[in-house]
Structure 1
Amino acid sequence: MSNIKIINQVLTLFFMMLMGYYGAKKGFINKTVEKGMSELLLNITLPFLIVTSFNIDYSEELLGNALKILIYSIVIHGSLLLVTKLLYIKNKSEKQGILRFVTTFSNVGFMGYPILNSVLGPIAVFYAAMFNMGFNLFLWTIGVRLLDNNEKGSFKKAITNPSMIAVLAGIILFITPLDLPLPIKEGVKHLGNTTTPISMIIIGSMLSKVKMKDLFSDLSLYYGSFNILILVPFIVLFIMKTFRIEKSLMEICVIIEAMPGATLAPIIINGYGKDASYASKAVFISTLISMITIPIIIITVI
């Protein structure tokens, strides 16, 4: 894909994001609407997009690549949990945990899948879904403990969230002769295709809540954003190039790692009844800066 096409795809996504920002500022996308859209995305449209991505002809090559990218995901997330301990060793314990979380776990659901789908097509979503299995495994077992030391983590949550169930359903459809009835298949496809605009509108709405004074209140947020958006993806790119990993799989891994911090961080902290303001700022600022860095990373890696 040419640089012009990549830039046009990214600008299209940012236009959708701008509409979410506009809607929130005008008041017709309020907190209730935003929450409802988030639930719709996480529980219906995103799982359907994942299932649709597995609707491809089975081949040994695809299966082999899927297993490879799952292994890459496990290695990347496991390594980041160790590396981030060093990156944020000087930060206070609570901030350190949040910064380690948002650096290790990128925003795959709201931004990773839609951007990969727009830039590289459905096959990239297929591989990203396999990559996300490693993401979920670490997030719900070790990641949650970064946000709350008293939380033990849950393997059950790692394998029972809607996206993981969609991956497992997709794998069954991929490796067996089973197929969905046409009306259901088409319905799943069309609903899945709404994931990109819905996710961009949600991100735009979330960004509308950022106050200018919050952008300059804590330099650790910028250090974190640099690590999330620049350092980590370029380290992944360098290592994968050094080991001569397949270009198509390398592109997906690097683009996913170039996404801003996972929006799950403030959501999980809220669930523990704690102050999620620092986590929210970390996610918002990295998302804001990613509007500049994502196109650069995509053009660099593709």
Structure 2
Amino acid sequence: MNVNVINQVIILSLMMVVGVFARKKDIITKETEESLSDFLLKITLPAMLLTSFNYNYSEKMVENAETIFIYSAILQAGLILFSIVLTLKNKNEVKKVLRFIIIFSNSGFMGYPVLAGIFGKVGIFYGAIFNIPYNIFMFSIGIMIYTGKSDLRTIKKVVLNPAIITTVIGFLMFLFSVKMPYTLYMAASTVGSMTTPLSMIIVGTMLAEVKFKDVFSGFMVYYGCFLRLILAPVFTVIILKILHVENLIIQICAIIEAMPAAVVASIFAQKYRADAQLAARIVFMSTIISMFTIPLVTVILKYII
């Protein structure tokens, strides 16, 4: 598995380089980047998620899905408390950014491609289940971290998000052994297969806009990366081992939590007047450093689980 993970991270990194090059050369403009993000979130990602549920009913998979759903919620709640302890001494605007980054990883844009590379289609299946509580927490508690209050309109948008809707539809199809017609499945599967390269290219275009001379300075950037890339997955493994969760579920949850900071961290920081520059720099640096830490986390998981 180790070689497979390293190869997968290298492949994803090369895809990001394509995005950086395309953005630097204005082949992909800012407007194009936003359109591609919409296309990914509303078309290719839902297609990939829907086809990932095209399995025959399995009682064991249903049991694992229920377990991942429950432990995803437990982990988010635990990381919320963990983030309070780790940021007690930080200034308020910095604290907001660090807390959000500790709790929420880039489980969508980078999580699904990495899970697919390590576990195959079943990794996407379980990742989709994990991300249901994750998204609900991110657009409720996540916003409260920045503003001190929840935004019910935003929570409603999350519930009606195409990825959430297709996950629910796909899981119901799996439960009742409803298979997609071959031609429809192949069309959706082919469109869904665009998600991985497209997501990494979009991440690359985002990274291309960060000024290199500013990004590498400041202790808080590296502290944020350490919290996100090392402490969050370590915390995940410890909690799940204490709860006697089976190894496959620990691996999936830990790898999701080993992803870099969620891109939306910088978007929320700018919108809600936190330290947006710090958030953007941590998103950038954690994405770069994760090329090395993700394989490291998978190697460690192999020996401790």
Equivalent residue letter for 2:160: T
TM-score by length of 1: 0.93
Equivalent pairs, count? 301
Q: What is residue 37 of structure 1 aligned with on the other side?
A: 36
> Shift of residue 218 of structure 1?
2.7
Given that 1:101 and 1:265 are in contact with CA atoms closer than 8 Å, whether structure 2 keeps it comes out as yes
CA spacing shift, 1:181–1:272, aligned 2, 3 Å: farther
The aligned runs of 1:76-91 (5 Å cut-off) are 76-91=75-90
Counterparts of 2:50 and 2:116, CA distance in 1:
13
Q: What is residue 291 of structure 1 aligned with on the other side?
A: 291
Q: What is residue 20 of structure 1 aligned with on the other side?
A: 19
Q: What is residue 91 of structure 2 aligned with on the other side?
A: 92
Counterparts of 1:23 and 1:152, CA distance in 2:
36
Equivalent residue letter for 1:201: I
Partner deviation per Cα, 1:60-98 (whole Å, 9 max, x = no partner) = 111011000011100100011111011111111122112
Q: What is residue 145 of structure 1 aligned with on the other side?
A: 144
Counterparts of 1:197 and 1:58, CA distance in 2:
30
Counterparts of 1:35 and 1:275, CA distance in 2:
23
Q: What is residue 254 of structure 2 aligned with on the other side?
A: 254
Partner deviation per Cα, 1:41-74 (whole Å, 9 max, x = no partner) = 1111111111111111111111011000011100
Q: What is residue 63 of structure 1 aligned with on the other side?
A: 62
CA spacing shift, 1:59–1:150, aligned 2, 3 Å: closer
> Shift of residue 272 of structure 1?
5.0
Deviates more, 1:198-207 or 1:233-242: 233-242
Counterparts of 2:24 and 2:206, CA distance in 1:
10
> What SS is found at the alignment partner of 2:139?
helix
| Runs of 5+ unmatched residues, structure 2 | none
> Shift of residue 270 of structure 1?
4.5
CA spacing shift, 1:242–1:149, aligned 2, 3 Å: closer
Counterparts of 2:219 and 2:45, CA distance in 1:
34
Counterparts of 1:128 and 1:42, CA distance in 2:
15
> Shift of residue 157 of structure 1?
2.9
The aligned runs of 1:1-302 (5 Å cut-off) are 1=1, 3-153=2-152, 154-271=154-271, 276-302=276-302
Given that 1:49 and 1:188 are in contact with CA atoms closer than 8 Å, whether structure 2 keeps it comes out as yes
Counterparts of 2:135 and 2:176, CA distance in 1:
25
> Shift of residue 239 of structure 1?
3.1
Given that 2:237 and 2:250 are in contact with CA atoms closer than 8 Å, whether structure 1 keeps it comes out as yes
Counterparts of 1:177 and 1:69, CA distance in 2:
21
Equivalent residue letter for 1:22: F
Given that 2:55 and 2:177 are in contact with CA atoms closer than 8 Å, whether structure 1 keeps it comes out as no
| Runs of 5+ unmatched residues, structure 1 | none
Counterparts of 2:272 and 2:234, CA distance in 1:
34
> Shift of residue 274 of structure 1?
7.2
Given that 1:139 and 1:158 are in contact with CA atoms closer than 8 Å, whether structure 2 keeps it comes out as no
Counterparts of 1:27 and 1:155, CA distance in 2:
35
TM-score by length of 2: 0.92
> Shift of residue 215 of structure 1?
2.2
Given that 1:37 and 1:202 are in contact with CA atoms closer than 8 Å, whether structure 2 keeps it comes out as yes
> Shift of residue 109 of structure 1?
0.9
> Shift of residue 5 of structure 1?
2.4
Deviates more, 1:62-71 or 1:155-164: 155-164
> Shift of residue 139 of structure 1?
1.1
Given that 2:105 and 2:257 are in contact with CA atoms closer than 8 Å, whether structure 1 keeps it comes out as yes
Equivalent residue letter for 1:13: L
Counterparts of 2:275 and 2:100, CA distance in 1:
16
Percent identity, aligned pairs only, is 42
Deviates more, 1:205-214 or 1:118-127: 205-214
Partner deviation per Cα, 1:133-174 (whole Å, 9 max, x = no partner) = 110121122111112225434542331112111111111211
CA spacing shift, 1:112–1:217, aligned 2, 3 Å: same
> Shift of residue 212 of structure 1?
2.5
Partner deviation per Cα, 1:92-143 (whole Å, 9 max, x = no partner) = 1122112111210110110001110112111011111111011012112211
Counterparts of 1:295 and 1:278, CA distance in 2:
26
> Shift of residue 242 of structure 1?
4.1
> Shift of residue 263 of structure 1?
0.9
> What SS is found at the alignment partner of 1:48?
helix
Partner deviation per Cα, 1:162-200 (whole Å, 9 max, x = no partner) = 211111111121112433333322111111111110111
> Shift of residue 40 of structure 1?
1.2
